[in-house]
Amino acid sequence: MPRIELPVDSLGYAFAHAAALVEIVIDGGNLTDAYERVLRAQPAWPDATRGAVRDHAWSTLRDYGRGDAVLRHLLHTPPPSFIRALLLIALHRLEQRPEQAHTIVDQAVEAARAVMPGLKGVVNGVLRNVLRQGTAVAAWCEADEAARYRHPGWWIARLRAQQPQAWEAVLAAGNLNPPMALRVNRRRAGLADVQSELQAAGIAAREIGDVGLLLAEARPVARLPGFAEGRVSVQDGGAQWAARLLDPQPGERVLDACAAPGGKSAHLLERADIDLLALELDAARAQRVDANLARLGLGATVKVADCRDIRRWWDGRPFDRILADVPCSASGVVRRHPDIKWLRRREDIASFAAQQAEIIDALWRTLRPGGTMLYATCSVFDEENKGQIARFCQQHADAERLPIDGHPDLVLLPTAEHDGFFYSLLRKVG
């Protein structure tokens, strides 16, 4: 990214840097990794600039298909990825803030001038044409299914078939700004005490679950009372079900097989004095587990290992409980990671399902007879959820499904209050 010769607090500056992030995703890169690299390269950015760049990139990527449906009508030749990304950001902003149309067009042109000056006229012409087209733009988006629902066509078709009563609500939830929930570390604070601290800081919140608080509005983590002191962690309300369902008891040997970034490991340790082994395949992500546990005053054995290769990490002593929070499509948390809409492909679901099968088949061997394993995903697709568990139980005669609130499993479809998760609790008979 060249040096942007624009005021750091200008809309054009934020547009240019956000477009660079969107461009990386268009070219197949990871949004979160790219954003963290930008922050390391720009340590002097004020909070307002950091927030603006993030908001423009994330919100534009949530709008999958919408801007492209417009550009197909106005551009005969595909533009370079950066210009396409910049136009997508400007189109999203125009739809959200039509009263700022003049400023948006002007600042998008300035962003183009700063990065690709030879194409500033293209940006100006396209955006002014959009303003002239008026209601036709909305009609173009309505006529395109991907633009209307802001998800890839294969994703929409899959959900429509698998969730015939809820597919539109699930898609709509995937386009929202995500909720922000906290988990109280009950080893260091009580729920009422934390809620009082939040109230004193002018942060409205209400209780969810036994140790959760749902904030009325998202706040920077650094400004949360008690976070630095390890009294609270940020964790979605749906994710907080994992430790409650596994329900570890004092003295038990527990495995968190896919632990990073460590939120569920920490929650298990906050609930009971257990001997916890946390595995993580990636060394850098394993360091995040250590850091999170240290902030909360918790201890566990953290190993870098592929949980499927039990010969390399298992000492032969069986576990009483296992959390198998397996890699998945992350389709239930897509609003937090909107690049997933752009990066996932139809065939990826079968690949994830195959990997999940390898993981739980291997982990089952390390569970003691009478022990329990909680299978968890943040996916909304049946192949990774109910279908996976049906396959597992068919192939493992010693697997017994334990009901959750009278149901075979727990399906949490994403809503305004929590992300999408799937949980299935299995007991090893024998």
Q: Which residues are catalytic?
A: 378
- The two most distant CA atoms of the chain are separated, in Å, by 73
Give me the amino acid identity at 355: Q
Please give the Cα distance from 27 to 33 (Å, whole number): 14
Question: Structure tokens of 404?
Answer: 């959750």
Q: What is the 3-state secondary structure (H, E, C) of the chain?
A: CCCCCCCCCCHHHHHHHHHHHHHHHHCCCCHHHHHHHHHHHCCCCCHHHHHHHHHHHHHHHHCCCHHHHHHHHHCCCCCCHHHHHHHHHHHHHHHHCHHHHHHHHHHHHHHHHHHCHHHHHHHHHHHHHHHHHCHHHHHHHHHCHHHHHCCCHHHHHHHHHHCCCCHHHHHHHCCCCCCCEEEECCCCCCHHHHHHHHHHCCCCEEEECCCEEEECCCCCHHHCCCCCCCCEEECCCCCCHHHHHHCCCCCCEEEECCCCCCHHHHHHHHHCCCEEEEEECCHHHHHHHHHHHHHHCCCCEEEECCCCCHHHCCCCCCEEEEEEECCCCCHHHCCCCCHHHHHCCCCHHHHHHHHHHHHHHHHHCCEEEEEEEEEEECCCCHHHCHHHHHHHHHHCCCEEEECECCECCEEECCCCCCCCEEEEEEEECC
Sign of the dihedral through C-alpha 103, 108, 111, 112? negative
> What are the Cα distances from residue 333, in Å, to 31, 79, 132, 393?
14, 30, 37, 27
> What are the Cα distances from residue 100, in Å, to 11, 74, 254?
11, 21, 55
